[in-house]
Amino acid sequence: MTNNTAYAELMEFQRQTEALAQVAGRLGWDQETVMPRGAAQQRSEEMGALEGVLHARRTDPRLADWLAAAEPADDKAAAQLRHIRRNHARTTKIPGALAQELARVTSIAQGIWAEARANDDVAAFLPTLAQVIALRRQEAECLAEGGDLYDALIDDYEPGATAESLGAMFDRMRPRLVALRSAVLGAEYQPKPLEGHFGQDAQMRMARDLATAFGYDWQRGRLDLAVHPFSSGSGSDARITTRVVETDPFNCFYSTIHEVGHACYELGIDPDYALTPLGQGVSMGVHESQSRIYENQLGRSRAFTGWMYGQMRERFGDFGIAGAEAFYGTVNRVQSGFIRTEADEVHYNLHVMMRFDLERALIRGDLVVEDLEAAWNDRFKADFGIAVPRPALGMLQDVHWSVGLFGYFPTYSLGNVYAGCLHRALRAAVPDLDAALAAGDTSAATGWLRENVQRHGGLYTPREVITRACGAEPGEGPLLDYLEAKFRGIYRL
Amino acid sequence: MTNNTAYAELMEFQRQTEALAQVAGRLGWDQETVMPRGAAQQRSEEMGALEGVLHARRTDPRLADWLAAAEPADDKAAAQLRHIRRNHARTTKIPGALAQELARVTSIAQGIWAEARANDDVAAFLPTLAQVIALRRQEAECLAEGGDLYDALIDDYEPGATAESLGAMFDRMRPRLVALRSAVLGAEYQPKPLEGHFGQDAQMRMARDLATAFGYDWQRGRLDLAVHPFSSGSGSDARITTRVVETDPFNCFYSTIHEVGHACYELGIDPDYALTPLGQGVSMGVHESQSRIYENQLGRSRAFTGWMYGQMRERFGDFGIAGAEAFYGTVNRVQSGFIRTEADEVHYNLHVMMRFDLERALIRGDLVVEDLEAAWNDRFKADFGIAVPRPALGMLQDVHWSVGLFGYFPTYSLGNVYAGCLHRALRAAVPDLDAALAAGDTSAATGWLRENVQRHGGLYTPREVITRACGAEPGEGPLLDYLEAKFRGIYRL
């Protein structure tokens, strides 16, 4: 076996694995959008069988031989090998029995969490949560090899990030965010909330037009309804979902734009990388940077909301907001609230910081699940000034912990920070962007992001891809500058 | 390994294979209904990877060991083993290289056929067709072990059927069908054709109500649009599709009822058989018997069309047919035509007989592809009295031969024959059926079919299941009696 043969055989094997992973993803899409309700149990068997096939491939003994023999011919091949090696090392460090037990417990745990949330019943969730944490700690011990357990988990979602660096970043962000929130909530001028009724069909038509405006390629995707919006798939099939609340069209519109950001990242990757390890977004943080810059820095900009205002007037008539400037305030209205996913740009990262501290304590063993509800509620009162009225609005609100996603939350803030950096660089590269956005034309922005971020897929590390795009190491400064300028403007401070 | 252990291990292995086969089926459904067009090439790689997994499982060397050791504990276990043994014998008789080549060539051939049909270009299709026939002949030689090649192919779709028995059946059917057609086409009274425009949304609403009327379980299925209607999936997820032609609502309505028949068969199987070899319809012929009895003997009956007439009047107003009796004639109007799938009940089997003779000659080597068009056109003129104007309406009309489905066509007629037998037995068991059908209530009929045919899945052989349901061996008599009585009545002969 020559080195070239080993590389070619490895990549062919990997390609089939990637193709099967796409099938598993599509099955997940089907389940959340079109699957008949009575098919749930059979589906879990189907998914289990497919996951079994994927697991067998990922632990195939030939991988180690190929990886030992393969020598990369160029930088791209080296990057492919880096990903395969990394995943292989991760898989081989975890005993099969532990991996199976984690899969089994987290798949049950999600249902238990959903029912506990529906009934506001923390006690019903705690034994399962304790079990999930114990298993994830075991897994982290296998991965960390003596290092920090929580770091080992973060590394799954954002290679290279550490709790220490994230904690330091959050410490720098907090005072400026808190000061901004305080100024904004105390401001004399307060934007008007949106009121009224906006029909489902009209919302969906506008959602489609917004996706088109952000360059979503309908030849390689589609938009459907789902309970929780998500995007799904890579290569030439990246689908998005949204939801409709007839009293809150922004929910539908900005969920759509957010998911378009994720999908455009996948669809923007160099087609040569399709069905290879380079053919997916490189990390959760970079992924979120695309969804957030589409949604916030572009979609909630004064210029673009000006165009949206005209669109909404055409479709919904007079909906009680007089003029594009007032509409810009309405879209960006800052408000206290309990739910992370509904938070405005000023509050959002404060929600994440709280989860980051709590989950780090859980994984380190400094906090036991029996004390979690009190810890959450105390911290929420301290950070947000309001008392959590019931656990569905508190510690039971997010699915993440039930499925073992410890270390995932901070990537949401990292995405916002990356988006801040990219936005600064984008504005410097495209000085007349606002004129285009005001006409509903995002192509200069989305083209710049495709060229500078999206097309690279997994070629560079997360920090590298942001640094190359921005010409500087990422940091929280640009995001905070942007937020202060934007919200001081809106609130006339 | 005890015999019990061998059986349990085999069934567990088989269950995973069945689950993966369901996934492959769902991927096919996705492709024909919701897949973005630009995803076609990636999809073929995804499907190829999954087919590779299935092929590896179906040729897994452990199967032979398990099959040698396993002893069935009861009749059901014996039936499970019979199916697995049969499939395993088939798979092991065909060299892997031949199976791969067949898969490769037929997947390309379908596209070449579609383009040839669009361009009425027989010459462009012939080399591929010759290749497909040569490969299927090779395959049949492996399977037949000295027996008849065409029989070996039929056996794939209708275990136990032979060209000789089918040929004899067709010989008995032909004179009575030809005489009936002649009488009907020469009758003084001719039903009025349907004219007018019937909107897509209203058609789809009525299609849903028709599916409900035939007992389709929406908790375990769904209805979507597709270019060629099909049903897909087993167990607790059996989906159907239909199409809409705004000048021909019967196309949508009867495609829907037909596919509901197929899906209800799958959904009616004993749930204990789900994800096992017994958990699917037992043959193409028995499957078609369910779709055809739903569509024709029930859906096109005087009683049920009486209810449908009221439904259509409510939804579409006066559409030019005066009264339920005239409507019954319109629904069942007999007309010369070139296309099998659009043929009425009197013509349908004559189309099949012609294909049966031609494809048997092709497989036996008595007819070469270069002579096929002339043979088709001559035969069509002789059998139907009209000249084929272009190959898209002649030998290029069906997809079957391009994908190698030789031996499949006769199962359509076998389905009609079985439906005739089942209908006679059903009428004897439920003497007041028409009163229920006239109120749009099919439950007595569908309940009888579920109890006597559907629930058994693969437990009995095709002939056994029909014989048990009817109390007599299947034969063409009941179908011909039914057709003569029905059409002589409609045409006032």
**Partner residue opposite B45 with nearest CB, options A26, A221, A275:** A275
User: Residue A351: what are its φ and ψ, rounded to 5°?
Assistant: -60, -45
| Substitution target from B17, B55, B237 for chain A, most A beta carbons within 10 A | B237
Average pLDDT across chain B, whole number: 96
Does the CB of A231 have a partner CB in chain B at under 8 Å? no
Alpha-carbon distances of A54 from A57, A91, A153, B26, rounded to whole Å: 5, 12, 21, 18
pLDDT at A2: 62
pLDDT at B2: 63
Does the CB of A20 have a partner CB in chain B at under 8 Å? yes
Q: How far apart are CA B262 and CA B243, in angstroms?
A: 16
The answer to whether B262 is a known ligand-binding residue is yes
**Partner residue opposite B23 with nearest CB, options A27, A218, A222:** A27
* % residues pLDDT > 90 (chain A): 96
Amino acid at B215: G
Q: Concatenated DSSP letters for A358-410?
A: HHHHHHHTSS-GGGHHHHHHHHHHHHHSS---SGGGTTTS-SGGGGT-TT-HH
**Which residue does chain A place closest to B14, by CA atoms?**
A49
* CB-CB contact of B331 with B490 (8 Å): no
Does the CB of A189 have a partner CB in chain B at under 8 Å? no
294-353 in B: which are within 8 Å (CB) of A? none
Residue A3, pLDDT above cutoff 80: no
* CB-CB contact of B239 with B263 (8 Å): yes
* % residues pLDDT > 70 (chain B): 99
Residue A27, pLDDT above cutoff 90: yes
SS3 A81: helix
**Which residue does chain A place closest to B42, by CA atoms?**
A236
pLDDT at B103: 87
Q: Which residues of B touch A43 (CB under 8 A)?
A: 237
pLDDT in tens, B363-373: 999 999 999 99
Q: A315, exposed or middle or buried, with CB in 10 Å at 0-12, 13-18, 19+?
A: middle
Q: What is the CA radius of gyration of chain B?
A: 23
Q: Which residues of B touch A36 (CB under 8 A)?
A: 218-222, 236-237, 239
Q: What is the mean pLDDT of residues A382-403?
A: 96
Residue A459, pLDDT above cutoff 70: yes
**Partner residue opposite A236 with nearest CB, options B19, B42, B53:** B42
* CB-CB contact of B86 with B363 (8 Å): no
Check if A259 is active-site: yes
Instruction: Label residue A364 by pLDDT band (50, 70, 90).
Output: very high
| Substitution target from A12, A18, A26 for chain B, most B beta carbons within 10 A | A26
Q: What is the mean pLDDT of residues A273-289?
A: 98
Q: Which residues of A touch B237 (CB under 8 A)?
A: 35-36, 38-39, 42-43
Does the CB of B271 have a partner CB in chain A at under 8 Å? no
Residue A146, pLDDT above cutoff 80: yes
233-262 in A: which are within 8 Å (CB) of B? 235-237, 239
pLDDT at B1: 53
Tokens for B280? Answer: 């699917």
Interchain proximity A26–B22, CB inside 8 Å: no
pLDDT at B45: 92
pLDDT in tens, B190-206: 999 999 999 999 999 99
Q: How far apart are CA A404 and CA A362, in angstroms?
A: 12
Residue A65, pLDDT above cutoff 80: yes
Tokens for A457? Answer: 């897929």
E strand or H helix at A231: strand A231-232
Interchain proximity A220–B36, CB inside 8 Å: yes
Does the CB of A23 have a partner CB in chain B at under 8 Å? yes
pLDDT at A26: 96
Interchain proximity B49–A20, CB inside 8 Å: yes
Average pLDDT across chain A, whole number: 96
Interchain proximity B53–A53, CB inside 8 Å: yes
pLDDT in tens, B224-266: 999 999 999 999 999 999 999 999 999 999 999 999 999 999 9
* CB-CB contact of A486 with A322 (8 Å): no
Q: What is the CA radius of gyration of chain A?
A: 23
**Which residue does chain A place closest to B274, by CA atoms?**
A42
* CB-CB contact of A419 with A295 (8 Å): no
Instruction: Label residue B3 by pLDDT band (50, 70, 90).
Output: low
Residue A334, pLDDT above cutoff 80: yes
**Partner residue opposite B36 with nearest CB, options A39, A45, A218:** A218
Alpha-carbon distances of B134 from B106, B131, B406, B407, rounded to whole Å: 12, 5, 12, 15
Q: Which residues of A touch B54 (CB under 8 A)?
A: none
Interchain proximity B34–A34, CB inside 8 Å: yes
* Catalytic residue, candidates B259, B373, B476, B484: B259
Beta bridge partners of A242: A225
Interchain proximity B236–A42, CB inside 8 Å: yes
Q: Which residues of A touch B42 (CB under 8 A)?
A: 19, 22, 235-237, 274-275
pLDDT at A407: 97
* Catalytic residue, candidates A18, A139, A158, A259: A259
pLDDT at A128: 96
The answer to whether A258 is a known ligand-binding residue is yes
**Partner residue opposite B36 with nearest CB, options A22, A221, A274:** A221
Residue A352, pLDDT above cutoff 60: yes
Tokens for A147? Answer: 């290092």
Q: What is the mean pLDDT of residues B126-155?
A: 96
Does the CB of A225 have a partner CB in chain B at under 8 Å? no
pLDDT at A107: 82
* % residues pLDDT > 90 (chain B): 96
Alpha-carbon distances of A32 from A222, A227, A397, B307, B374, rounded to whole Å: 14, 8, 19, 37, 52
In chain A, the domains with their CATH numbers are: 3-149 (no CATH), 150-493 (1.10.1370.30)
Q: Which residues of A touch B38 (CB under 8 A)?
A: 217, 219-220, 236-237
Strands A239-242 and A223-225: parallel
CA A424 from chain centre, in angstroms, equals: 21
pLDDT at A100: 87
Q: How far apart are CA B120 and CA B116, in angstroms?
A: 6
Interchain proximity A20–B45, CB inside 8 Å: no
Q: What is the mean pLDDT of residues A251-264?
A: 98
Interchain proximity B19–A45, CB inside 8 Å: yes
Q: How far apart are CA A47 and CA B214, in angstroms?
A: 31
Interchain proximity B16–A219, CB inside 8 Å: no
Interchain proximity A36–B275, CB inside 8 Å: no
| Substitution target from B26, B58, B201 for chain A, most A beta carbons within 10 A | B26
Interchain proximity B237–A35, CB inside 8 Å: yes
Q: Which residues of B touch A235 (CB under 8 A)?
A: 39, 42
Q: Which residues of B touch A52 (CB under 8 A)?
A: 16
Q: What is the mean pLDDT of residues B71-76?
A: 94
| Substitution target from A12, A41, A42, A216 for chain B, most B beta carbons within 10 A | A42
Q: Which residues of A touch B52 (CB under 8 A)?
A: 16
The answer to whether B288 is a known ligand-binding residue is yes
**How far is the alpha carbon of A39 from chain B, nearest alpha carbon, in Å?**
5
Q: Which residues of B touch A46 (CB under 8 A)?
A: 19-20, 22-23, 26
Residue B464, pLDDT above cutoff 60: yes
pLDDT at A1: 53
Q: How far apart are CA A416 and CA A411, in angstroms?
A: 9
pLDDT at B107: 82
Please give the interface size between A and B, counted as residue pairs whose CB atoms are below 8 Å apart: 108
Interchain proximity B20–A239, CB inside 8 Å: no
The complex's ipTM works out to: 0.93
Tokens for B225? Answer: 């649009």
Strands B239-242 and B231-232: antiparallel
Q: Which residues of B touch A39 (CB under 8 A)?
A: 220, 235-237
Does the CB of A201 have a partner CB in chain B at under 8 Å? no
SS3 sequence of B247-262: CCHHHHHHHHHHHHHH
